[in-house]
A = this chain, B = another copy of it.
């Protein structure tokens, strides 16, 4: 039966990275509200004939036009009183058949390169865009709490598995990778040790090509070795982590 389930929703916490800071994808409900936040995570009710992962992908596409990204579950949220702000209640009344239903939501997260995914709003999202995580303090419903939980998961995850390669251009320099790790872990890493470690892991391979047009010694370019990455993924990254 292809119908919305009034009691279960999904929300997506999509982190974006731009070599400067960590951002998160939010939609603007565009509502004329006196008080209460207008920003929310993209999320909506699930259909009864789709699974949770599918629902998250679909919702992300419907609200922000972003497809085909790997989403990982954060967990389930849903205190009975998560709809406690007037603005939230009003808004639900405008978009839901059963605005008063008890909803529990399953959150998903991912980390993408901002420049690869230009969000464009549709459905009930008035606008969609990237907001710096460090400047946010309030969101609709319990979305701020969900954001914090997702951030913590991301931090744990990146410590133990080399995600982050999808954040780089196809050809990249080891310095870019270095900077990426430093900004996510939020601490300096020794240049030589970092390079050694990444190279020993074997998931990057050097191209025969260099940077051009830079006002300093041009860097060798590297690409991500997908096969090596996958074979390591299966056997576990025994010795990763900075």
Contact = CB atoms under 8 A, between A and B. Distances in A.
A7 interface: yes
Report the contact-size class of chain A (Cβ under 8 Å from the partner): 20 to 34
A51 B78 contact: yes
A171 interface: no
Given A73-B75, A75-B73, A75-B75, A104 B8 contact: yes
A222 to B, nearest CB: 30
A27 interface: no
Interface string A5-35: 1111000000000000000000000000000
Interface string A92-110: 0000000000101010000
A48 interface: yes
B7 A80 contact: no
A52 interface: yes
Interface of A: 5-8, 46, 48-52, 73, 75-80, 102, 104, 106
6 contacts: A6-B7, A7-B7, A49-B102, A52-B76, A52-B78, A104-B104
